[in-house]
Amino acid sequence: MIKVFIIDDSMMVRNAIIKMLKGVEGIKIIGEAPNPIDAFDVFRKVGLPDVFILDIEMPKMDGLTFLKQIKEQKPIPVIICSTLVREGSTEAIDALRYGAVDIVLKPKINVREYFEEEKENFINSIKAAAISSIHYSPNVLTKETTQENVKEGKPSKQIIAIGSSTGGVQVLEEIVTNLKPNHPGIVITQHMPEGFTNSFAKRLNTITNSFIVEAKDGEVICDNKIIIARGGVHMEVTESDGVYKTILKDFPKVNQHKPSVNVLFNSIARIKGIDATAFILTGMGDDGATGLKKLKELELNTYGQNKQTCIVYGMPNVANQIGAVKEELSTFSIIKKINELTQG
C-alpha cells in the first residue's frame, strides 16, 4: 500500500485529489494539510508517507523550502503539483533539481474535471515515485557560464540521442555539465509538460559549456549543441544534403507520451547510413525501448542507464529485457562514453 500525503493551500485541489484517488487499489491518502508547517502536526498522528504531493506556493513555508528540509532529514519521494508548471518557472525546475521525482500541472479552473481526466497519469506518477531511488544532493550546481562565449559548432556528422523520463532532469543536468567542449550534436527527449522545456534549456545554458536550445522546426544539429524536445509535441530527426535537422510533429501520444522517445529513436532509424549513438535513461514505463532496439538492429551503439544510478529503473529495464541495449552504464560511464566521441 502506497501511503500518500497532500500539502496544498487549496482545499479544492486537496479534495479533488482525494476524490480522484479514492478507491484506487494500492494507494491510500493518510493525510492532508494547507502548508508544510501544519503538515508537521499531522505527521505526529499519522506518521510519514511513502509519497508527498506538494504545491510550491504556500503560506508559512513554501514547497521548495520544505522539499530541501525533507530531503536532508529523511528522503521521501515528492511529486510537485503546481500552477507554476504551466509557465515552466524556475521554481518548478529547481524542485526537480532538488530531488522531486515528477511534476504535474495544477489547473486554475475546472479542477475536479482536470484531475479526473488526468487520473491515469497521476496514478502512474505516484507509483513511479513510490519505487524511485532518491538521489538527493544538497550541493545543487549554481555556477554560471558566459553564454556569449558558448557557440554551436559545425553541422554534426554523428548524433547522440537521449531519452529519459522520471528523474531525468537530475541525471541530464549531471551529464551535460560534465561534457567536453565540441561534443557531437545531442538531441534529447525528456518527458516534460508543455511550457517547461524552454525554461529547462535556459537553465542548463547557465551551468554548461554547451549551446542548448528547445527544439524547433529546421533546427540544425551541430557539434557542441544540445537540442531538447519541446513539451507537448513530438520531435524527429531528418536529413537533407548531409545535414541533420529536427522537425516537430503534432500527432497523438505514443507510449502515453508527447514528446515520445520512441518517436525520436524511430526517426533516426529511418535515416540511411546515419552515425548515431543512443542512450535510454531513468524513467517509468517502456517508452523508447522498441525504438532503441531498431537502432541496435542497425548495428548502432545503444546504451541503457544501469539500475544502480537510475531514479526509476523502468525504461532502461524494459529496453534491456527486449535486447535493445548493447551495454548498461552508470551515469559516470555515460558521461565518459559521450566524451570519448568528442573530437579534439
Q: How far apart are CA 76 and CA 125, in angstroms?
A: 14
β-strands 2-7, 27-33 pairing:
parallel
Short-list 192, 94, 191, CA closest to 142 = 94
Residues 6 or more apart whose CB falls under 8 angstroms from that of 240 comprise: none
Question: Do 79 and 166 meet the contact criterion of CB atoms below 8 Å apart?
Answer: no
DSSP string for residues in 93-135: HHHHHTT--EEEEPPSS-HHHHHHHTHHHHHHHHHHHHT----
Question: Do 175 and 338 meet the contact criterion of CB atoms below 8 Å apart?
Answer: yes
Cis peptide before 107 (omega within 30 of 0): no
Active site residue 287: yes
Active site residue 94: no
Q: Which of 132, 156, 165, 260 is catalytic?
A: 165
Q: Which of 55, 102, 286, 287 is catalytic?
A: 287
Q: Which of 191, 210, 223, 234 is catalytic?
A: 191
Active site residue 89: no
Distances (CA, A) of 66 to 9, 40, 99, 132, 249: 14, 11, 12, 19, 39
295-298-301-304 Cα dihedral, nearest 10 degrees: 30
> Which residues have a catalytic role annotated?
165, 191, 287
